[in-house]
Copies of this chain bind each other. A is one copy, B any other.
Amino acid sequence: MRLIADNLRITRKTIEIAMAEKNPLPLQAMAKQCQLAGADGIDINSGPLYRDPESRMVFMVEAVQEVTRLPLILDTSNPKALKAGLLACNAPATLNGLSMEPSKLENILPLAAAYRTDVICYLLYPNGHVPPDSTERLNIAVSLYQKCLEAGVEPDRVIIDPVVVPLSWQDGLFQAREVLTVIKTLQELLGFPVRTIAGLSNLTAGARDSTKKHLAEQTYLPMLAASGLSMILMNVLNAESIRVARTCRLFSQESIFTWEMIG
């Protein structure tokens, strides 16, 4: 399981201000911290970038890759920003992300095919709504995977995100279980060892009780890992969660490690 930092996001005040001031330092400080914490990649969540999408995404990408060689994930619904970001990246980047929403199939899928990038595919309805259960998610996975192949995206470029929802939703716990089922079932269903990703922070979005929040995250994370999750998108600067994530990795990685590495 690879650990992807979700810390570089525009909804974070320091990042928002840095973007407004075109000041790369806070972005770079954050990127360096994520690398130090053990991230295997960084998600650059720029938001939709209604104004100047190209120059602002390029600013973020350039700022970050000045201080780290970690792979980048470009996270925006704006296809202009995605394209500009891809061109600015020194190394192959991942597009985040595609779904059955018509605007995304139209604008993001061709980008993924043309630039031969990895692409994260959300199991959402065409109207952007979250499916109620695993069956619906798996149906969408089949359709979306097919769309990718038809567009010329290679199977090993596809990364599926089954969409973790907040536990505070009325059916939050049920949805959390269904996500595990999707991760366990996908590869057999698609007949390909497709990679998967999930956003851990979503699980406790809106939760105030930090003890409960940690308990939920630290329990669900190993369950995702044991279900076969390939990549976890998470706050890598949460010391407790990162310790659990690293331990999950020891328990699920193929090569043998000694017990001394835990901690």
- Contacting pair A223 B248 (CB below 8 A): yes
- Chain A, residues 218-251, CB within 8 Å of chain B (1/0): the string is 1111111111000000000000000110011011
A258 at the interface (CB under 8 A from B): yes
Known: A167-B259, A262-B212. A223 touches B220 (CB 8 A): no
Q: Provide the bound-state CA to CA distance between A171 and B255, in Å.
A: 11
Residues of B within 8 A of A180 (CB): 226, 251
Q: How far is the CA of A215 from the CA of B174 in the complex (A)?
A: 26
* B residues in contact with A225, CB < 8 Å: 223, 226
Knowing A211-B263, A222-B226 are in contact, say whether A171-B256 is a contact too (CB < 8 A): yes
Number of this chain's copies in the complex? 2
Query: Of all chain B residues, which has the CB nearest A223?
Result: B226
Docked CA distance A174–B176 (Å): 28
Complex CA–CA separation, A124 to B251 (angstroms): 22
A216 at the interface (CB under 8 A from B): yes
Q: Do B219 and A259 touch across chains, with their CB atoms under 8 A apart?
A: no
Judge whether A192 is part of the interface by a CB distance below 8 angstroms: no
Q: Tell me how far the C-beta of A222 lies from the nearest C-beta in chain B, rounded to whole angstroms.
A: 4
Quick check: B216 and A262 within 8 Å, CB to CB? yes
For the complex, give the distance between the alpha carbons of A172 and B260 in Å.
11
Is B223 a contact of A244 with CB atoms below 8 Å?
A: no
Q: Does A177 contact B (CB under 8 A)?
A: yes
Alpha-carbon gap, A230 to B226, bound state (A) = 15
Interface string of A144-155 (1 = CB under 8 A from B): 000000000000
Q: Does A66 contact B (CB under 8 A)?
A: no
What's the nearest-Cβ distance from chain B to residue A166, in Å?
8
Question: Which of B168, B219, B223, B263 touches A212 (beta carbons < 8 Å)?
Answer: B263
* Besides A171-B256, A221-B222, 18 new A-B residue pairs in contact (Cβ under 8 A), listed by A number: A167-B262, A172-B259, A173-B250, A173-B251, A173-B256, A173-B257, A173-B259, A177-B251, A212-B262, A212-B263, A215-B244, A215-B247, A218-B244, A219-B247, A220-B222, A222-B226, A223-B223, A223-B248
- 11 residue pairs bridging A and B, Cβ less than 8 Å apart: A172-B258, A172-B259, A174-B256, A180-B251, A211-B263, A215-B244, A218-B218, A222-B223, A222-B226, A223-B223, A223-B225
